Amino acid sequence: MRERILMLDCARGMAILGILLMNITSFGLPKAAYLNPAFAGEPSLPDAWAWAVMDMVAQVKFLTLFALLFGAGLHMLLPRGNRWITSRLLWLMGFGFIHGVFFWDGDILLDYGLVGLLCLGVIRRMPNPRMLFITGAALYLFGLIILLLLQWLVADAPPGRFWQPDIADRIYEYYWQTTGGPEAWRVRLELLHDSLSSLGMQYGWLLAGSMLMGAALMRCGWLSGEMPLAHYRKAAGLLIVAGVIINLPGVLLQWHVHWAFRWSAFALQIPRELSAPFQALGYVALCYGWWPTLSRLGIGRWLSNVGRMALSNYLLQTLLCTLLFNRFGLFMTFGRADLLLFVPAVWLVNIIFSTLWLRIFRQGPMEWLWRKLTRLTGGGLKVQLM
């Protein structure tokens, strides 16, 4: 059995926990609040600052990090064969569909499975890591160009309910989120359709680019931790600082224009999207460069456990947060800044759950189910690669 890359698991665990910093807003507030802190009028100063800080350190960054690691995982699975990997991705899409329709409308699993299928052939047929990275970067930049085109085409349109919902829209969203049942499933199915349309139009290019760059970095040894610690430490500082410098003008300008749809919905999203790969790779380098210290303190092991059970922990976050906000009636009760106070508690559950579970079992419950279903439809190989 191939030995697990603990540092890679640590980075994956960091991505799963970091994603919650963004998702907590979607769990606790209307969908429009995800990108627009002024969705219901001028935000309070604490909420505005919470938006600004999260935009600088988390928004898009951890999703991009997870996409990079997903692409790295596809490269690692290549010896399994095309049929096995395809089956694995199709089951992931199935999990995503169930998750997105029956539990929460912020699902990413369906998107990752679908784009992963499209990237698989490119990763397999392009052995040169340099060319693979350049191809990924080109796709990512093309996604940013589409944002510019959207700015030109639709920036003068009315904001709409996904940017600035009126009171009726917010009441209806509160109703179906807290009531659940067939009405919520119908709305989530419509939102899933919109999400797939966005994936095909713009976001899919960014996602595919990130996956290809991640596969390239795994192939050349950067993501597998083969560089010296000093290299990663230097890279962490340079990449994170570069990302902050790129992102900062977008944050300041959005605040300056009071998050007006005309500018903030498209053009001023570009600095954040452009900064995301730099900061995501900077976070990986930070983890790798300080791995001995993280291991000695136990933090590395905790994060690695979360990363080994990434799918289970991602779905556990949904179960915990939908229980809190939808079933217990806390939806639209707290502001953006207050919602961040829930995050450490959910992180703690993720860490404790992963640590206790892996003391008894070799993999998480959803990972076990995923592997069993993949073997059932994709053929069973006895060599465990991940």
| pLDDT tens-place string over residues 357-369 | 999 999 999 999 9
Residue 295 lies in a domain: yes
Residue 1 lies in a domain: no
Residue 331 lies in a domain: yes
Residue 278: closest CA among 224, 225, 222, 238 = 238
385 falls in which pLDDT band (50, 70, 90)? very low
114 falls in which pLDDT band (50, 70, 90)? very high
**How many domains would you assign to the chain?**
1
From the number of C-beta atoms within 10 Å of its C-beta (0-12, 13-18, 19+), residue 220 rates as middle
Residue 81: closest CA among 124, 48, 110, 133 = 124
Residue 157 pLDDT greater than 80, yes or no: yes
Strands (E), 4-51: none
Residue 385 lies in a domain: no
What percent helix, strand, coil does the chain show, rounded to 5? 80, 0, 20
380 falls in which pLDDT band (50, 70, 90)? low
Residue 350 lies in a domain: yes
Residue 328 lies in a domain: yes
Residue 169 pLDDT greater than 70, yes or no: yes
Q: Where are the alpha helices (DSSP H) in 58-161?
A: 61-76, 82-102, 109-125, 129-154
Q: Is the pTM of this model over 0.85?
A: yes
Note down the domain range covering 210: 6-378
Q: Report, as an integer, the average pLDDT of 91-102.
A: 97
Residue 259 lies in a domain: yes
Q: What's the rounded Cα separation, in Å, for the pair 154 and 261?
A: 10
Residue 2 pLDDT greater than 70, yes or no: no
Residue 383 lies in a domain: no
140 falls in which pLDDT band (50, 70, 90)? very high
